[in-house]
Each structure stands twice: as C-alpha cells, then as structure tokens.
Chains A and B, each alone.
Chain A
C-alpha cells in the first residue's frame, strides 16, 4: 500500500524512495574506536564493582585485608617495587626474572620437541602413524598429575619446573603442528617436485614456511597453559617466582600483594600474546590480510 502513494504528495519526485534499512548485526563491522570503547567497558565495570564492595567492607571494618582499598593496594605495590628491608631485593623484579626464565626455558624446550616431531609427523605419514596415538594419549594426561613423578625423578629444583612446562605443552602442540603440516595440500607438494625440489626442500621450503604462522598461533594458545604449570610448580617448591610469592604472602592474607601480582601476570601474558601476534603479522603478511585484491 505504502508504495502506491499518489505522486502529488511527494515533495521531490526525483529523490529516491527512502527505505528503512534494517540492521543486520551478524557480520556488520565495528570501527576501531568503538572496539576500544566496547572493550574497556567490562574492565571498568569490574573495577567499579571492586571499589564498591571494598568500600562496603571498609565501612564495616576499617582494617579489612581481603578486599584492600586503593591506599592499601598502593602500600602493597610499594612493598613489592622497592628493595626489601632484609634482603635488599626488589620482590617484583626478582620474581618476574625467575618466573620468565623458567617459562621461556620450559616453553622453548617444549616447542623444540613439538616442532621437530610435529613437522616430521606432518610430512611423513609413517612417523605420524607411530606417534599420533601416543601424543593424543599424552595430551589427555593432566600434566599436574605428572608433577609428583617429575619431582621424584628430578628433585624439586629448577629442572623439574622446566620439564613440567615442556611436558605440559609439547603433546598438544605436536599434534597441532602435525595437523597443520598434513593440511598443506598435496598438490603443493606435487608441484614442488615438478619444479625440481628434493624431499628435504619440500619439507623446509614448502611445508614448514606455510605452517609457520599456524605454529605461532598455537604458541599463543599455549601461553595460558604454560603459565598454569609454572605457577603450580612454583607454588609447591621454589625460593623465588611470581607463583611462589603469591603463595607465601597468602599466609599473611596480604591481598594487597596478591592482587598486583595477579594483574602483573595477566599483563605479562597479554604482552607475550601481543608480541607473537605482531611477529606473525610482520613476518607473514600473506597469512593475514586475506581481504585485499
């Protein structure tokens, strides 16, 4: 009915009919600025909620330690960022150094295993047939259940923590890399052979470079688990480390130390994730901007 309106009533007959655009939410793009604003909202709400409940608790009991107020947090922050009275050490610095060293050693060795084995499994179907069931089974074992075994064999010092991280991330990562290698189309391999490539050249110049961005993605996903294993092993036995500190000050209910540490760990994780993502975008532009023609 509406589109049969008499022509006389329209003010400008040349103007195109204004149709009401319905919003299709799925798939509609969000501008960068709006993304930032939307992303900040929940964080802000969380902070406000914390401030509110913390305040409530302090009204009842000014000495409350479980939800420290901002002045208490500042005090805790000062405690961990200035040299300790007894040991002359800056806690945050010492702990971060110890933890990151363990994390990198653990992830590094886990990655070395995963890339070597995963690549071989992805390229050679026989290697895949040998290791895939084992890796799948190992990936299902909670690494923390292996911790006692590791402690028994390696003692409770540094090496056991590194081994836990390595063993924790290697099986999943191996299978992931193997799958990525297998997913490289057979036609790419055939093509490389027709261009005179040898088997090792097919492996290292065709398959490996093609799955590198995928490997970086997998590494990003293992940062989370790696931190779990790190904190867990530090909580059980260590003399420094972010996990160690959190568990030590837990006895004094020092929430004003624990909270900054947790936030710090989150920040470190985010930075690591961002750095790897940036390396991937910078090093492998072909794997990212799929849109442009």
Chain B
C-alpha cells in the first residue's frame, strides 16, 4: 500500500526539470519499542521548489524532530527517501546547516572561532594547517574577516573573543545562527532553536532569523512547539499530527502532514495581535492539536 503511494509520487515529480531544493517523498519512520515497532511518521511528503521559510508545528511527540533529523541525514527513513537539490540525503553534510536548542556551540572555541569553524575546515584535511602554513595563514585571515562580518549582522562583534559559556542563551543562539549561515547552506534546519529563551529574547531572535532568511534566501526548516512563533516567522506552515481519521478497517498509525498552508504576511511583531492572525491560530489548533477533531485522510489541505 505504502509502496504504491511512493511510486505514484515519484512518477509525478519527474515532470519538473530543476531539482527541488527539498523533496521529501513518502517518508515513513519507525522506532523499535516494546514488542515491535512504533511508527512515528506515516507517508510524509513535502516538496520545496524555491527558498521558503517552513515552520513545522504539531502536538508533542508527533515526530517533528524526527522529520528534521531525516532531512538532516543523521537518521535514515524506514521507507521513502529525502532528496536535497536532487541528491539523496544519506549523512549530515555541509549543504544543510543545523541549529540545535542546546549544546549548539563548541564550548572549547571562542565565539569567533565557532563562527569560523566551518570555513576553516571545509575542503581541508587534518594536517593541512601545518603542512601548507603560509597559504593557510592567509586563508585564516580572510576567514576571520568574514566571520566578523557575520558576527556584526547578529550584533555580536563585541563579543568575538568570549567563550560560549560567557554568553547568555540568546546570544549563544545568535552565534549558532551565524555559525551555520556562514557556510551558506541551501537548507538551514532549526530544532526548537528558541525554546529555552525568555519571551523578549525570543522575539528579538525571531526578527533576526526573518532578516537572515530575507538576506540569504536559504530554505529554513524551523521546528517549534509554539504555534504563534511558527505563523509569525514562517512563510509556509506545516502541521504534523497523528490526530486524523481513516477508513474503517484501517489503522491510523504515525503522524501525517495534516495541514500545509502559506502563512499571512506579518511584517512586525504587532501583527501577532491582528484578528485574522488570531483566528488562524485557533483554526490550526483545532485541526492539528485537538484529539477530538479528526479530519479524514483524504481531506487534508495539502498543496505540495
């Protein structure tokens, strides 16, 4: 049954010439559990043709982070496949950046060194630093300047010499964003990046990430449990949920994308209080988060 679906969507995709930025085709994922397996993701498909700011919400435990890890490549799907820029994702690599909620920086490096880390290592091998010293030194200088520019955009150039533990949580996340963006990844994955921050800092960072998206034109895949945040920062909202109904005789297992909608334009934080914005939140909450309300599989509002 599932394989049929996989073949169907694969056939439809071959029409377009340009490789999609991100193409999640009929992905299933399960984890071993007591006496068998638990299916977490059930036939999730997602196509991203051009840079979009995707935000993913859903009830806790619905598999948001699992989907993120599949796109990152740190986990392999049970069935289906993830393609980024036409290539199948097998491992984490430099085409997809990541910002975690915690441990997001290397504690043994200063802020500047953290941001430079990727530039310094990309395309080099371990002993290159020592064997090609003059060339390396010149490169190193360029990297420093470039990293300082990125630090300026996140307003942390004053703190370049500090170690991560000397920064507040919000500052650390800003460094982490600069650290990932300096590699100019095609996709930036963020796993509840602002989940541990206080509301003020959070709003500040939401604006930072929106600016980053508009400047860099990278696809951002932003997982959050905060619906308001998701609607505010993103351009496209995905709702992952296991609350849906199926035909009788079938079992509903795992989460599906139950909603996939463009988000309203919200240029300022004041827009969060707009009436239509609040209504949309209520609507998404009902469709995605309410166990009582179950849409039928065929009725999902999906525009892949």
Most chain B CB within a 10 A radius of its CB, from A185, A201, A293: A201
Interface string of A194-217 (1 = CB under 8 A from B): 111110110011100110100000
**Contacts A188-B103, A205-B121; is A194 near B98 (CB within 8 Å)?**
yes
Complex interface: chain A residues within 8 A of B87 (CB): none
Interface string of B176-216 (1 = CB under 8 A from A): 00011001010000000000000000000000000000000
Is A193 an interface residue when CB atoms closer than 8 A count as contact? yes
How many residues in A have their beta carbons less than 8 Å from beta carbons of B?
A: 29
Interface string of B41-68 (1 = CB under 8 A from A): 0000000000000000000000000000
Q: Are B91 and A196 in contact (CB under 8 A)?
A: no
Q: Which of A105-113, A142-150, A162-170, A282-290 lies at the interface with chain B?
A: A282-290
Q: Are A195 and B100 in contact (CB under 8 A)?
A: no
Complex interface: chain A residues within 8 A of B121 (CB): 192, 195-198, 201, 205
User: B residues 122-170 with Cβ under 8 Å of A?
Assistant: 122-126, 163-168
Q: Are A286 and B168 in contact (CB under 8 A)?
A: no
- Shortest C-beta distance, B68 to chain A (Å), equals 11
Is A78 an interface residue when CB atoms closer than 8 A count as contact? no
User: Chain B residue with minimal CB distance to A203?
Assistant: B126
Complex interface: chain A residues within 8 A of B185 (CB): 194
- Shortest C-beta distance, B128 to chain A (Å), equals 10
Q: Are A209 and B97 in contact (CB under 8 A)?
A: no
Q: Are A194 and B126 in contact (CB under 8 A)?
A: no
Is A101 an interface residue when CB atoms closer than 8 A count as contact? no
User: Chain A residue with minimal CB distance to B100?
Assistant: A187
User: Chain B residue with minimal CB distance to A191?
Assistant: B98
Complex interface: chain B residues within 8 A of A196 (CB): 93-94, 118, 121-123, 183
Is B239 an interface residue when CB atoms closer than 8 A count as contact? no
Complex interface: chain A residues within 8 A of B126 (CB): 198, 200-201, 204-205
Q: Are B163 and A285 in contact (CB under 8 A)?
A: yes
- Report the Cα distance A209→B109, complex, angstroms: 9
Q: Are A194 and B72 in contact (CB under 8 A)?
A: yes
Q: Are B179 and A195 in contact (CB under 8 A)?
A: yes
Complex interface: chain B residues within 8 A of A292 (CB): 166
Q: Are A187 and B108 in contact (CB under 8 A)?
A: no
**Contacts A190-B92, A200-B125, A201-B126; is A210 near B98 (CB within 8 Å)?**
no
Complex interface: chain A residues within 8 A of B74 (CB): 186, 190
- Report the Cα distance A48→B290, complex, angstroms: 77
Most chain A CB within a 10 A radius of its CB, from B106, B123, B167: B106
User: B residues 62-108 with Cβ under 8 Å of A?
Assistant: 72, 74, 91-94, 96-98, 100, 102-104, 106-108
Is B277 an interface residue when CB atoms closer than 8 A count as contact? no
Complex interface: chain A residues within 8 A of B165 (CB): 286, 289-290
- Shortest C-beta distance, A181 to chain B (Å), equals 14
Complex interface: chain B residues within 8 A of A205 (CB): 117, 121, 126
Complex interface: chain B residues within 8 A of A290 (CB): 165
- Report the Cα distance A286→B94, complex, angstroms: 27
Q: A194's contact among B92, B124, B167, by CB below 8 Å, is which?
A: B92
Q: Are A293 and B168 in contact (CB under 8 A)?
A: yes
User: Chain A residue with minimal CB distance to B168?
Assistant: A293
Q: Are A187 and B93 in contact (CB under 8 A)?
A: no
- Report the Cα distance A196→B94, complex, angstroms: 5
User: Chain B residue with minimal CB distance to A213?
Assistant: B108
Q: Are A284 and B108 in contact (CB under 8 A)?
A: yes
User: Chain A residue with minimal CB distance to B117?
Assistant: A195
Complex interface: chain B residues within 8 A of A190 (CB): 72, 74, 92, 98
- Report the Cα distance A190→B96, complex, angstroms: 11
- Shortest C-beta distance, A270 to chain B (Å), equals 28
Most chain B CB within a 10 A radius of its CB, from A186, A188, A191: A191
Complex interface: chain A residues within 8 A of B183 (CB): 194-196
- Shortest C-beta distance, A196 to chain B (Å), equals 3
Complex interface: chain B residues within 8 A of A186 (CB): 74
Most chain B CB within a 10 A radius of its CB, from A196, A284, A290: A196
- Report the Cα distance A205→B103, complex, angstroms: 16
Q: Are A194 and B93 in contact (CB under 8 A)?
A: yes
Binding site for A on B (CB under 8 A): 72, 74, 91-94, 96-98, 100, 102-104, 106-108, 117-118, 121-126, 163-168, 179-180, 183, 185
25 contacts between A and B (CB under 8 A): A186-B74, A187-B102, A190-B74, A191-B106, A192-B121, A193-B92, A194-B92, A194-B97, A194-B98, A195-B117, A195-B180, A196-B118, A196-B183, A197-B121, A201-B124, A201-B126, A205-B121, A205-B126, A206-B106, A209-B108, A286-B164, A286-B165, A292-B166, A293-B166, A293-B167
Given A191-B104, A212-B108, 16 further pairs, Cβ under 8 A: A188-B103, A188-B106, A192-B121, A193-B92, A194-B72, A194-B97, A194-B98, A194-B183, A195-B180, A195-B183, A196-B122, A196-B123, A197-B121, A201-B121, A201-B124, A293-B166
Closest 10 CB pairs of A and B: A195-B118, A196-B122, A196-B94, A286-B163, A193-B92, A200-B126, A185-B103, A197-B121, A209-B108, A194-B92
Binding site for B on A (CB under 8 A): 185-188, 190-198, 200-201, 204-206, 209-210, 212, 284-287, 289-290, 292-293
